[in-house]
Amino acid sequence: MPIHTDRTYELQLEKLRASVLEMGGLVEDQIAQAMRALTTRDQALAQATIERDHMVNRLDVEIDDLAIKLLALHQPAARDLRLITTALKVTTDLERIGDLAEHIAERATELFGELPIKPSIDLPRMAELARDMLRRSLDAFVREDEKLALSVCNADDTIDQLHGQLFRELVEFMADDPRTVSRAMRLLFVSKYLERVGDHATNIAEMVIFMVKGRSIRHLDRPPREL
Amino acid sequence: METASSLASDTSTSAKILVRDLTVRYGTTLALDRVSLDIGERQVTALIGPSGCGKSTFLRCLNRMNDHIRSVAVEGRVLIDGVSIYDPTVDPVELRRRVGMVFQKSNPFPKSIFDNTAFGPRVHGVRDRVALCEIVERSLRQAALWDEVKDRLDRSALDLSGGQQQRLCIARALAVEPDVLLMDEPASALDPIATAKIEELIHELKTQYTIVIVTHNMQQAARVSDETAYFYLGRLIEVGPTEQIFTNPGRRETEDYVTGRFG
């Protein structure tokens, strides 16, 4: 694709794209660290993860500022306009994912020192799925790949099913032995957080499809099979 | 590849102007290459494209302004209300009454505001003073100039500001009751406030007139027009609803132009 006649504009758009990617990489890492803190009962790591959330927030503000500046100064059109509006919306989802990572780390802190009620298998699996969805939605953003983005939308069901399964399992634990309630509830929260990460990754993927194709597939009952 | 001519549908029932396979040559230079376009009635159609793309040539074909240029050769059809305007029986003077034009540089005559506005009606034979006064007031009101000049209609038009002069030229074009108004860069020499007044005026005028505007200011095209047509190297590349052209154009060439990737 030809580059802009205005090189400054071109560079700023490139910076916007890079910043979104940086923020995405950061929140993906935050989820990984929070989950590691949870599964390895690493109090210091949980605390470090909570403290790192301000970096996510800072990028959120920076990207908003840059996007607003671009809108005000360049009156962007077509694909540039769609990139900027996508960046504005994607950062909201990324910021929420950052908050969810922080919440996971908080639950990890609360569970520190308590006996585990079951081996950690399902939650790490959900986290892996959620991170994979996030990674692919960001890849799709950078590569402007609407097919990859659509595959993210279609992956959301799996994570929802895992959450449903874990929900039933943890409810059983609580019913069988009320002493597990506070621990099981916290694990259930984590499961819900991870399910929400999947939803946010799906939102990002939907915005990427809008960015590439100029067409919205949001708020449909089912994602389309193809674009 | 979808051709530009297939984009201009024949089925549009509200088209005021139908252009088919319009080709214009200046000597051996091809200025327009088989352009087909429907222009909707009481709509604003913006023509955009880089210098030399043919948009002004296209505009000037719509009231046969190109007739005055020697060595110009026009092929194809231009129909206004179903009548071919290049038919030998069509009187170009009457055509230009129906299809008025406003230019980039305001060009009032060195006469009074009143005489400028009454110029067209007088040429077309209106002599009655009361009738002329009515026409002048109506036209100046339509051009959103009346309140600013009503107390000094006998003053020279050249004493007006640039923006007022341009609105006077619009009033002068409206005085002969045209159906179509062609505007070639009508606000490019004006400051932002005068520009905003012209744009506001365009919004009001389109309830009564079919407007075709050439502009280099893409934000202006985006603001004032219903349909936008992108020209490049004498060809119509794409035409569509303005919102679509500026948010999600169908063709890469259009995309490159509206996003500033040209050249």
CB pairs under 8 A between A and B: 44
- Our CA-based measurement puts residue B238 at a distance from the nearest CA of chain A, in whole angstroms, of 14
- Structural domain spans, chain A: 7-213
User: Are residues B53 and B233 in contact, defined by beta-carbon separation less than 8 angstroms?
Assistant: yes
Sheet strands (E) in chain A: none
For the beta carbon of residue A44, count every other beta carbon within 10 angstroms: 8
Q: For B38-81, write each residue's pLDDT tens digit.
A: 999 999 999 999 999 999 999 999 999 988 888 999 999 999 99
Q: Domains of chain B (ranges plus CATH)?
A: 4-258 (3.40.50.300)
Instruction: State mean pLDDT over A92-117.
Output: 95
ipTM score for this prediction: 0.75
Inform me whether the C-beta atom of residue B258 falls under 8 Å from chain A C-beta atoms. yes
* Sign of the C-alpha dihedral computed for residues B60, B64, B65 and B70 taken in this order: positive
> Which CATH number applies to A7-213: 3.10.180.10, 3.40.640.10, 1.20.58.220, 3.40.1230.10?
1.20.58.220
- State the amino acid at position B13 in one-letter form: T
Q: How far is residue B114's CA from residue B145's CA, in Å, rounded to a whole number? A: 12
Q: Which of B3-17, B185-199, B234-248 comes out lowest in average pLDDT?
A: B3-17
Mean pLDDT of B100-107: 92
| Closest-CA distance of chain B to residue A212, Å | 10
pLDDT at B7: 45
Q: Is A156 on the interface with B (CB under 8 A)?
A: no
Mean model confidence pLDDT for chain B: 92
CA distance A182 to A184: 6
Selecting from B219, B254, B259 the residue whose C-beta is nearest the C-beta of A80 gives: B259
CA distance to partner chain A, nearest, from residue B218 (Å): 9
Higher pLDDT among residues B30 and A222, named by residue: B30
CA distance B235 to chain A (A): 20
Residue % of chain B over a pLDDT of 90 = 86
Determine whether the interchain pair A4/B260 forms a contact, defined as Cβ–Cβ distance below 8 Å.
yes
Q: Using a CB–CB cutoff of 8 Å, tell me whether B263 touches chain A.
A: yes
* B12 pLDDT higher than 50: no
The chain A residue lying nearest B261, using CA atoms, is A4
CA distances from B101 to B67, B212, B215, B235 (A): 15, 9, 14, 23
Partners of residue A3 in chain B, C-beta under 8 Å: 261
d(CA A81, CA B244): 12
Are B247 and A214 an interchain contact pair (Cβ–Cβ within 8 Å)? yes
> Taking the C-alpha atoms of B108, B111, B117 and B122 in order, what is their torsion angle to the nearest 10 degrees?
-120
Strands B210-214 vs B44-48: parallel, antiparallel or unpaired: parallel
Sign for the pseudo-dihedral over CA of A104, A131, A11, B192: negative
**Residue of chain A nearest B219, judged by CA positions:** A75
Of the candidates A1, A3, A77, the beta carbon closest to that of B246 is on: A77
